[in-house]
């Protein structure tokens, strides 16, 4: 059975990571997972939030948002509505946690990095694209800080790499990296965040229809692990490693 775009079940969409997209940000990336396009900027400032002052440790956080017409029908702006929706909150927190998993805050020193992930065009997998792209923007911001001597020589604020992918069961078949049309039909939907060495940072699986069995869960985890490993390669290649 072939997918709407001709991919096999275990295939990622074409992934691209374009660095240096913004002239202002310390790190910036335009990441594409097929038609999903997310602009990720990393803003580094000296100093940390009040609750962390004097600790000698830095902080990394993230904010996610969708442009109103990044989707098929226009959504209201959260700034106009005057509050952030639950989904936005959830994804911002997920991105922040995922990146913090590979940061050594002592090595970062009392610096703060904010990752802004703004979805310019959405076609499924916006949060996984955001995490995967934000990691590269973060790496660039860290390099910038090392050049500017804001971080101690030989300090290694990044302890690893991190990437994310979605998997799901559609028509009984586990698929990798779902497009929007697949996502809405999925019986089970899962987002998995892995480090480059194949361990898990976050696993979030949800039954959209029928509950799923342990076997199905295992199948999805296998698929996700493979997808993350491929994304790790794309990230390394983008970073010229």
Contact positions toward a second copy, by CB under 8 A? 22-25, 28, 35, 39, 41, 43, 45, 63, 65, 67-74, 77-90, 92-93, 97, 101, 114, 116, 118, 120-123, 160, 190, 194-195, 197, 199-207, 210-214, 217, 221, 225
By beta-carbon proximity to a second copy, the closer residue of 53 and 199 is 199
Question: What minimum distance in Å lies between the beta carbon of 241 and a second copy?
Answer: 20
Question: What minimum distance in Å lies between the beta carbon of 109 and a second copy?
Answer: 19
By beta-carbon proximity to a second copy, the closer residue of 41 and 128 is 41
Is 240 a known ligand-binding residue?
no
| CA neighbor of 241 nearest in space, from 136, 91, 169 | 136
Alpha-carbon gap, residue 150 to 142, rounded angstroms: 9
Question: What minimum distance in Å lies between the beta carbon of 153 and a second copy?
Answer: 26
- Tokens 């946690």 appear where? 97
By beta-carbon proximity to a second copy, the closer residue of 24 and 149 is 24
- Tokens 């586990």 appear where? 174
Is 61 a known ligand-binding residue?
no
Instruction: Report the chain's C-alpha Rg in angstroms.
Output: 18
Is 87 a known ligand-binding residue?
yes
Q: What does each C-alpha distance from 62 to 134, 215, 241 come to in angstroms? A: 9, 34, 25
By beta-carbon proximity to a second copy, the closer residue of 121 and 143 is 121
Question: Do 102 and 60 contact (CB within 8 A), yes or no?
Answer: no
By beta-carbon proximity to a second copy, the closer residue of 2 and 72 is 72
Alpha-carbon gap, residue 33 to 152, rounded angstroms: 35
Question: What minimum distance in Å lies between the beta carbon of 167 and a second copy?
Answer: 12
Question: Do 39 and 117 contact (CB within 8 A), yes or no?
Answer: yes
Is 128 a known ligand-binding residue?
no
| CA neighbor of 132 nearest in space, from 168, 99, 89 | 99
Residues 6+ apart with CB under 8 A from 219: 174
By beta-carbon proximity to a second copy, the closer residue of 155 and 225 is 225
Question: What minimum distance in Å lies between the beta carbon of 72 and a second copy?
Answer: 5
Question: What minimum distance in Å lies between the beta carbon of 168 and a second copy?
Answer: 13
Q: What does each C-alpha distance from 158 to 107, 195, 201 come to in angstroms? A: 8, 11, 15
Q: 14 pairs with which residues across the strands?
A: none
Alpha-carbon gap, residue 170 to 194, rounded angstroms: 23
Binding-site sequence positions for phosphate: 87, 125-127
Binding-site sequence positions: 87, 125-127
């Amino acid at each position: 059975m072939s997918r709407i775009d001709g991919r096999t079940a275990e295939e990622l969409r074409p992934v691209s990571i374009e660095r240096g997209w913004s002239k202002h940000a310390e790190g910036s990336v335009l990441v594409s997972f097929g038609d999903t396009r997310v602009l990720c900027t990393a803003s580094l400032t000296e100093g940390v939030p009040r609750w962390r002052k004097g600790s000698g440790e830095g902080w990394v956080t993230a904010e996610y948002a969708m442009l109103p017409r990044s989707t098929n029908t226009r959504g209201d702006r959260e700034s106009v509505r005057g509050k952030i929706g639950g989904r936005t909150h959830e994804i911002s927190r997920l991105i922040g946690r995922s990146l913090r998993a590979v940061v050594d805050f002592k090595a970062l020193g009392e610096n703060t990095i904010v990752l802004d992930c703004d979805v310019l065009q959405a076609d499924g997998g916006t949060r996984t694209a955001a995490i995967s792209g934000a990691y590269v923007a973060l790496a660039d911001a860290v390099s910038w800080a090392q050049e500017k001597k804001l971080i101690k020589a030989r300090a290694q604020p990044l302890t690893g790499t991190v990437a994310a992918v979605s998997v799901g069961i559609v028509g009984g078949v586990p698929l990798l990296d779902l497009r929007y049309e697949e996502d809405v039909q999925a019986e089970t939907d899962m987002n998995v965040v892995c480090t480059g060495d194949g361990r898990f940072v976050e696993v979030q699986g949800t039954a959209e229809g029928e509950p799923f069995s342990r076997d199905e869960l295992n199948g999805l985890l296998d698929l996700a692990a493979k997808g993350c490993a491929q994304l790790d390669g794309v990230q390394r290649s983008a970073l010229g490693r």
